[in-house]
Structure 1
Amino acid sequence: MNKIIAQHTAEVFNGNPSVDRYYDRDQSTFIDILCCKNSPTADCSSYCTLGTYKEDSGYYYEGKKIGVEIVAACYDSVDFVPNMIASCAFNLIKDGMQIAPSVVQRNVVYEYDPATKTPHVLFMLPFLWGEGLKTRELNGSYISWLYAMPLSDNELHVLDEKGFSFLDKEFEKANIDVCDYTRESIF
Structure 2
Amino acid sequence: MMQKHFQTLEAQLRQNEFLYHQAHDVFGGSARVFRHYDPSNEMSIDILTEQDTPQAGTLSCATLGMMHYPVGLREGGKPLRFELAGACKGPNENFPDLLSRCAIAVMGTKIRCFDGAVFPDIVRTYIPESRLPHLLFTEFSFWNERLEAVAFEPFNVRWLTAIFLSDKESDYCAQHGVVSLLSLFEEQKADLSDPLRDSVL
Q: Distance in 2 between matches of 1:165 and 1:132?
A: 17
Given residue 55 of structure 2, which amino acid in structure 1 is its aligned partner?
A: T
Specify the SS of the correspondent of 1:128: coil
Matched, 1:94 2:108: yes
Q: Distance in 1 between matches of 2:79 and 2:54?
A: 29
TM-score, normalization by structure 2: 0.85
Pairing partner for 2:88 from 62, 74, 85: 74
Contact 1:21/1:30 (<8 A) preserved: yes
Matched, 1:122 2:130: no
Specify the SS of the correspondent of 1:66: strand
CA RMSD of aligned residues (A): 1.8
Q: Distance in 1 between matches of 2:29 and 2:198?
A: 29
Q: Distance in 2 between matches of 1:116 and 1:76?
A: 11
Specify the SS of the correspondent of 2:143: coil
Deviations 1:27-61 (A, max 9, x none): 22111100112211122121001110111234443
The residue aligned with 2:164 is 150
Specify the SS of the correspondent of 1:21: strand
Q: Distance in 1 between matches of 2:133 and 2:72?
A: 23
Contact 1:109/1:118 (<8 A) preserved: yes
Higher helix share: 2
Matched, 1:52 2:66: yes
The residue aligned with 2:124 is 110
Cα offset, 1:76, TM superposition: 4.1
Contact 1:4/1:138 (<8 A) preserved: no
Deviations 1:106-159 (A, max 9, x none): 111122234421101001112222444121224664221110110110101111
Label 1:74 to 1:125 Cα distance change in 2 as closer, same or farther (>3 A): same
Contact 1:118/1:151 (<8 A) preserved: yes
Label 1:132 to 1:167 Cα distance change in 2 as closer, same or farther (>3 A): closer
Matched, 1:12 2:12: no
Bigger Cα Rg: 2
State how many pairs are aligned: 187
Given residue 43 of structure 2, which amino acid in structure 1 is its aligned partner?
A: T
Q: Distance in 2 between matches of 1:100 and 1:134?
A: 16
Q: Distance in 1 between matches of 2:29 and 2:90?
A: 14
Deviations 1:82-129 (A, max 9, x none): 011101001101134222211111111122234421101001112222
Contact 1:15/1:36 (<8 A) preserved: yes
Gaps of 5+ in 2: 1-14
Label 1:58 to 1:114 Cα distance change in 2 as closer, same or farther (>3 A): farther
Label 1:49 to 1:181 Cα distance change in 2 as closer, same or farther (>3 A): same
Q: Distance in 1 between matches of 2:123 and 2:146?
A: 26
Pairing partner for 2:187 from 153, 173, 178: 173
